Structure 1
Amino acid sequence: MINIIVVFPKKEVALKIKNILVKNGYDVAAVCLTGARAMEAVERLEAGVIVSGIRFVDMVYHELREYLPDYFEMVVVARREQWQEYGDDDVNWLPLPMKGFDLVDLVAELQGEIARRIKKDRTKPKTRTAAEQKIISQAKELLMEKNGCTEEEAHRYLQKQSMDSGTNLVETAHMVLDMF
């Protein structure tokens, strides 16, 4: 589940935004009145959407935005004049007066985008360092030399041993090098 943090300097406004989201089935993880509190809330979460005003007592929204990890998106709710003065094209903006369904639709869209990014990143194959690649290559060369097999057969052997022993390929390659 993607978390939502609401950040506005006025508590009444923050609670109204929270209520719109809650009525539409969203769980709001935190309601904050300052950027510093929002930063603390972000540290406890893996991913989420921040719905905020443009200015807080302690900072402006773009200072908070710079602090956000990869799996966070931001929606700024502000008057057109404020946005023209402080706005940034890299942030989602909703003009005041705001319609509740516009906020709900945008949050849903951003949650879907974050979920896709997380899924894509988790399905990426892990890249090995040059040192790890070297260890695997040395183990394959040793297996090819000692057992008279091809590189593909040596690689398959390492993979099978890795799966059977429950260790990763690099650890298995280390074990092969240690055996000989």
Structure 2
Amino acid sequence: MSHIVIAFPKLEVAQNLKKLLSQSGYTVTAAVNSGSAALQAMGGLDHSILICAPRFRDMIYEEINDCLTNGNQMLLVATQEMWEPSGDILCIRTPLQVHELLETIRMMDESLYRLRRKQRNRPKLRSEEDRALIRQAKELLMTRNCMTEDEAHRYIQKRAMDNGTGLIETAQMIVALNNN
């Protein structure tokens, strides 16, 4: 579940929303009354939701959104006249409907969950040394066993899976066996 930061010029509004969301099972990290405090609260959080008003004494919602890191999303609570549609900012209109707010937050939370999973499952970037080692192992297989590059790569992958080792370790074994 994503962390939530609530920012409204009137701190009592932010506190009331915090209470409502906490009772609904959400983790509210902070309830603040300025844009800079909202950014400070969001600073250490990844894949979180900022629920905020359109204007604060120190900044407006667009400035806050520009400062948010990737993976953090904004939910603007405003009248229709107070905001301009934007692709990366969701807006919920006032007067606030509780079920609409909770449904929107649930949707945003699910979206952030999918983003976290997608990033976690993304293949890790290999160092230049690791890529060179894999390339060397493939070249050895291509030369000694008359394989294409794809066949050599699949061979290394299959050996790694069969032996329960990583691709790099398997490539090291192929290179080491060839040097003996």
Residue 28 of structure 2 corresponds to residue 28 of structure 1: yes
Letter in 1 for 2:86: D
Contact 2:156 2:171 in 1 (8 A): no
Q: In the alignment, which of 137, 140, 144 is matched to residue 139 of structure 1?
A: 137
2:167, 2:44 → 1: CA distance?
33
Q: TM-score, normalising length from structure 2?
A: 0.78
* Deviation of 1:154 (Å): 6.9
The structure-2 alpha-carbon separation of the partners of 1:134 and 1:155, relative to structure 1 and needing over 3 Å to count, comes to farther
Q: Which residue matches 2:110?
A: 112
Q: Which residue matches 2:55?
A: 55
Residue 85 of structure 2 corresponds to residue 88 of structure 1: yes
User: Gaps spanning 5+ residues in structure 2: where?
Assistant: none
Q: Which residue matches 2:8?
A: 8
1:107, 1:20 → 2: CA distance?
12
The structure-2 alpha-carbon separation of the partners of 1:119 and 1:150, relative to structure 1 and needing over 3 Å to count, comes to same
Contact 1:144 1:154 in 2 (8 A): no
Q: Which residue matches 1:42?
A: 42
Contact 2:156 2:170 in 1 (8 A): no
The structure-2 alpha-carbon separation of the partners of 1:68 and 1:178, relative to structure 1 and needing over 3 Å to count, comes to farther
- The CA RMSD over aligned residues, in Å, is 2.9
Letter in 2 for 1:49: I
Q: Which residue matches 1:156?
A: 155
2:100, 2:91 → 1: CA distance?
11
CA deviations on 1:70-114 (whole Å, 9 max, x unpaired) are 22211111123322xxx3322111122111221111101110111
1:64, 1:73 → 2: CA distance?
11
Letter in 1 for 2:121: T
How many residue pairs align between the two structures?
Answer: 175
Moved over 6 A (4+): none
The structure-2 alpha-carbon separation of the partners of 1:65 and 1:163, relative to structure 1 and needing over 3 Å to count, comes to farther
User: Gaps spanning 5+ residues in structure 1: where?
Assistant: none
1:109, 1:158 → 2: CA distance?
38
Letter in 2 for 1:108: R
Moved more, 114-123 or 98-107: 114-123
Q: Which residue matches 2:66?
A: 66
* Deviation of 1:9 (Å): 1.6
Contact 2:141 2:152 in 1 (8 A): no
1:110, 1:153 → 2: CA distance?
43
2:77, 2:116 → 1: CA distance?
26
